[in-house]
Amino acid sequence: MTGRPKTAPKKTATKANDTVSAPAPHTPALPVTFRPTRTRAVLLTSAAAMFVAMTVMSLLLETLSGGERGSFILMAALFAGVLVLLSRPKVVADDTGVTVVNLTARRRLAWAEILRVNLRPGDPWVFLDLSDGTSLPVLGIQPGIGKARAIRDAKALRALAETHGTGADSPGATRDNG
């Protein structure tokens, strides 16, 4: 036994405001674009591969007439177009607000219109609660293939909304897991 008494480990002084929880979300520099890049890459690669495969197939099948080949290629272009359309969603945030681009629609929102950014467990994409009482789906941030990235992007968009608009938590606000 040593002659040294046991001492409690040293405690470091902390400020009253310090928390042990996760660090505050990083607010990205503006302008910033959020999009599901992995999903987009899969969709665009599939569109190109399918178009090439169907076109080559139509040209190699000797029993097809010219019209049938043309309709085969047209159908390949139509399928590829649908996949390209599915890869369109994105969110662009700048100093004045947010542009939400979904499949066929584009909507411009001022920061003050965005009350809350939600991505709850099980949601297919982010939803924006708006000042007019409606909710807008934001397909540009979706946890499908890249869940960690979607959560990070949702946190960044929430931080931007809270910094630039009225997105600060209000009574009864629901926070998500991201």
Q: What is the pLDDT of residues 25-44, one digit of tens each?
A: 577 888 999 999 999 999 99
Question: How much is the pLDDT for 166?
Answer: 65
Q: Report whether 139 contacts 103 (CB < 8 A).
A: yes
Average pLDDT over residues 47-70: 95
Strands 106-110, 97-101: pairing is: antiparallel
Question: How much is the pLDDT for 30?
Answer: 87
Q: What is the pLDDT of residues 97-151, one digit of tens each?
A: 999 999 999 999 999 999 999 999 999 999 999 999 999 999 999 988 788 999 9
**Domain residues of the chain, as ranges?**
39-86, 90-164
Residue 20 above 50 pLDDT?
Answer: no
Average pLDDT over residues 74-78: 98
For residues 14 and 165, the model is more confident at 165
Q: 143: helix, coil or strand?
A: coil
Question: How much is the pLDDT for 116?
Answer: 94
C-alpha angle with apex 147: 143 to 149, nearest 5 degrees? 105
Average pLDDT over residues 3-10: 44
DSSP per-residue codes, 49-91: HHHHHHHHHHHH-TT--HHHHHHHHHHHHHHHHHHHHHT--EE
Residue 21 above 70 pLDDT?
Answer: no
Residue 94 above 70 pLDDT?
Answer: yes
Residue 151 amino acid letter: I
Question: What does pLDDT average to over the chain?
Answer: 83
**Tokens 């910033």 — which residue?**
32
Q: Report whether 83 contacts 44 (CB < 8 A).
A: yes
